Structure 1
C-alpha cells in the first residue's frame, strides 16, 4: 500500500501540516510530537514524495553554492570553511540541500545554470576578480545572499563584518599601547574587503594624528606567502614600522616568518595583528593576536536571509556584524578587548 502524508497524519493523531513541518525540519513543533510522527513514519516505512512536493510548490529545495572570482577561495579556506559549515547546518534545518557549482574554466551564465537545476536560491562567497556573471545573477531577481561581496539586485543582499570598524579597533589598540609607527598588509588592490579594512586603518590613523607611510602599505592576496613577501619588502627599508596589521591571519603568519628570518623578534621588535582568528593563531610562535569575525553569526544570518528572499520577502538590507580583538603574544599581552 502506498501511504500518503494524510495517512501518516491520521495514524499519528496530528494535522497534515504538522507532518509536513516534521518532514521538512521546520520549527514550532514539540519534541514529543516530532517523536510521535517520526515513529509512525519509521514503522510504516513511509518515504515522502519530494518530486511531487516540488511540483506542487514549484520549489526544488536546492540552494546553489558559488565560490565567485577568477581567484577564488574554496572549502579548504579556514575562515570560509567555518562560515559554510554553519550555513549548511541552518539551511538544512530550513529544509534545503546544497549544490556546489564548479567555476573552473567557466565563462557562461550562472543564471542559466540556476534555471537548469531549478534552484531556489544561491549563496555566493567572494573571491578576487569576481566575474560579471555573478553580478548578473544577483541583478536578475534570482534570490541571492553574498558573503563578503556587495550584491544589490532586487532579491539580493549580503552579510559581512563591519570591516572599517574592525581596522579601527586594531589601530586604537596600538595607540593605547604607545605604538605609533604602524604598517598595513592588505589583499589585492581591487579587493573590496581589503580596501574597506584599509579605509578603517587610514581613518583611525588620521583620527589619532598618526602618519600614514605609503611605503608601509603593502598588497598581497590574503595567503601566507604574500604576507611573507610584503613583510620582506618593508624590512628592506631603513625605517620600518614597529607594528603591522595584516588583513588576514594567513598573511600575518607569513609576516611572522619573514621577521624571524631577519633575526628580529615578535613582539619585541615588531608587533603583529592578523584577522579572522583561524585555529593556527593559537599554535603559532608567538601566538597570534587577531580580530575575530563572528563566523557562526554570519553563516546563520545568511541562511535565514536567503530563506526569507526565497519565500517572497521584500528586499533585505545588508547586515554588518561586529568583531572582537583577541590579544595574544604577538602584541605582548594576553587579554581580550571589545
Structure 2
C-alpha cells in the first residue's frame, strides 16, 4: 500500500474521477454516507482555494487509488477536517472493504493529530477515537415526495396541516407563491447571506459570513456545477419578492442542507418550513435519495425528519507533544459546549443569554448606522 499526499492543484483528473466514482457507487456498496457533498473532491478543492494547508492523501494499491483522505494541516502538524466548522460530513472516502490504520495514515500525512466534528458512520479506525456521537436528521425522499408527505401527515398531522395552510395563506396575503429550486441569480445569494448574518447577530451567534473565507467559499460553490456536484440555491418567492432561501450542496443522491434563512417580516407564515417542503418535492423529482439536515437540535428538523444518521467528534492522535497540547487546549471547550447542548435547562438559559446579547448588538448596529 502506497500513500501520496497532494496539494489541491496537484490532484490529477484521473484521481478526481476515481474519487467521484467511489461516491457515486457508495450506496450500492452499503456506504451511502460517503456520497455526502462535503466529502466530494469539489468541496475539498474549493476550501483549498480559500484556506491554507489543504491536502489530500491518496492511498493506492497496485497503482490504483483505493481511498482519499482530505485534511487541513498546520505548519506544526496539527490536522483538522477540511472546512472544520462549516463541513457537515468528514472522513475517508474509500472502496468497499478497505481498512486502514489511523495512526499510520497520520504518520504518512505528517500529522500529530487529526480533529473532526462531523465524522460520518462506517469510519471504524477513526470512530475508535471519537469522544461523542450526535444525531444528524434526514428527510428521505427516495420513494417520491407524495410518499414522504403521506408519511409526514401520519407522523405529524397537525404540523403538516398547519404548514400547508400557511403556504396557502402566504399566497393570499402576499401574492403568488413561486419556488425556484436552482436559482442562478447571484443577487439572491447575497440576500440570503444578509438574512443569515442578521439571524446570527440577532440570536447572539457568531456571524459565519463575517469571516471572509466562508463568504468567498459559499460564492465559489454557488458557481460550481457539474453532473456529480453543484451548489444549489433554492428560493421561495411571494408576490415576486424573496421570502425564504437556502443554499446547500448536492451530489447525485444527497442534498446537504447548509444555510437556510428567511425574511423575518414573513415569520408568521413559517416560510422556512414551506421552503423545506418545496425543496423535498423538487429533490425527489431530481432523483435525490435524501436531504441531510445536519447535526444540531432544532425543532424544525425534528418535525421534518424521517430518521437520523449519526456523526461523531473527537481526535485521532499519535504520541507527540503537539497532539497532547492540542487536546488540552480544545477538549474543555468542546466538553462544555456539548454539556450545555445536551441539557435542556442549561441550553435554554444559554440560548436566552445569547438572544439578549443579540438585542444589544442590534441596538449597537442601529446606533452606529445613525
TM-score by length of 1: 0.29
TM (norm. structure 2) is: 0.27
Which structure has the greater CA radius of gyration?
1
Greater fraction strand: 2
Greater length-normalized contact order (CA 8 Å, ≥ 6 residues apart): 2
Q: Whose helix fraction is larger, Structure 1's or Structure 2's? A: 2
